[in-house]
Amino acid sequence: MITTPAAPARIAAFDASDDADAIAERMLGDGAVIVRNVLGQRTLDAFNAEIDEWFARQDAAPRTYMNDTVTHFFGPQTRHLAGLAGKSKVFRGEVLCHEVLMAQCERVLRPHCAAYQLNFADVMDRGPGAARQLIHRDDGIWPYLPRQAFPLEFATMIALGPFTPEMGATLIVPGSHRWDADRQPEPHEIVAAGLEPGDAVFYLGSTLHAGGENRTRQRRRGMHLSYCLGWLRTEDNNYLTAPIDLVRTLPREQQAILGYALHDGIEVNGGFLGAVDWRNPLDLISEGKI
């Protein structure tokens, strides 16, 4: 019997100005979408200048992480700038509550929580020779929850510079958010999300993906950020990454997305999370009490 080779996987592409419902519907259906022109050149320039300064101060030696598995997962060629909310004014002002990202959080996460929150925000600058990551699901950070019928996390990788397949553009497995936990992708089911600077790939926490191998001499710089349901513990400890002295100076919307707001489940016959003295911390901050 002659079998025709399976068609290679594809990711649907949108523009940031496209209808947010259409983007969300497709992301929920396929597990991932590409969204072009999320960040403009002015933001990219300002942001990259801030990041360059941080990297210039960083120790050049390959770093280690909290354990050997994570050190191996990221590999010695990856420079990380973690905790962007505490480090970058451009990030806080122009990315953290970006309307295109919030529109997806509203549609993908908000139906399953009273408020969503930043899960983490990092720059991942992967140098020449960076190896392909292990294919994984980002929502594997909550392994004690049974597999959910709804998304826990909305993730994105935004290109901060050239982001080609040869440079290790993120590899995505469309449709894998619906797969059994142990199914591994065939090569034709994996697609590299090639991006121009400012473009992004949006994907669900349950979608299989990996950073690709960097076979060039150029660094591949991307911003990896994700948001999660407000009742989950976040991957980055936002209360220490963006400490209260900084948070007091921020607009209420930014304070809330950093997890400082009360998570108020009363509307769905639930209770509260994250109270201080039985009040919403954001009210206490605005009253000068914390």
Ligand X SMILES: O=C(O)CCC(=O)C(=O)O
Footprint on this chain of ligand X (rule: CB under 6 A): 124, 126, 133, 138, 157, 170, 209, 211, 222, 224
Q: Smallest gap, in angstroms, from Cβ of residue 39 to ligand X? A: 17
Which residue lies nearer to ligand X by CB, 39 or 285? 39
Which of ligand X, Fe ion, none is residue 224 near (CB under 5 to 8 Å by kind)?
ligand X
Six-digit token string for 112:
């399953």
Residue 140 CB, shortest distance to ligand X, in Å, is 9
CB atoms within 10 A of CB 260: 25
Of residues 241 and 280, the one with the C-beta less far from ligand X: 241
Q: Bridge-partner residues for 247, per DSSP? A: none
Q: Closest distance between ligand X and the C-beta of residue 209, in Å? A: 5
Cβ closest to ligand X, residue 209 vs residue 219: 209
Identify any residues that bridge with 116 across adjacent strands, giving them in sequence order: 229
* Residue 138 found at the interface with Fe ion (CB under 5 A): yes
Whole-number minimum distance, CB 227 to Fe ion, in Å? 14
Partner interacting with residue 124 (select from ligand X, Fe ion, none; CB below 5-8 Å by kind) = ligand X
Distance CA 254, CA 218 (A): 34
Buried b (16+ CB within 10 A) or exposed e, 72-93: ebbbebbbbbbbbbbbbebbbe
How near is the Cβ of 289 to ligand X at its closest, in Å? 38
CB closer to ligand X, 104 vs 170:
170
Nearer to Fe ion, 138 or 236 (CB): 138
The residue of the chain with the least Cβ separation from ligand X equals 211
The site for Fe ion (CB under 5 A) is made up of 138
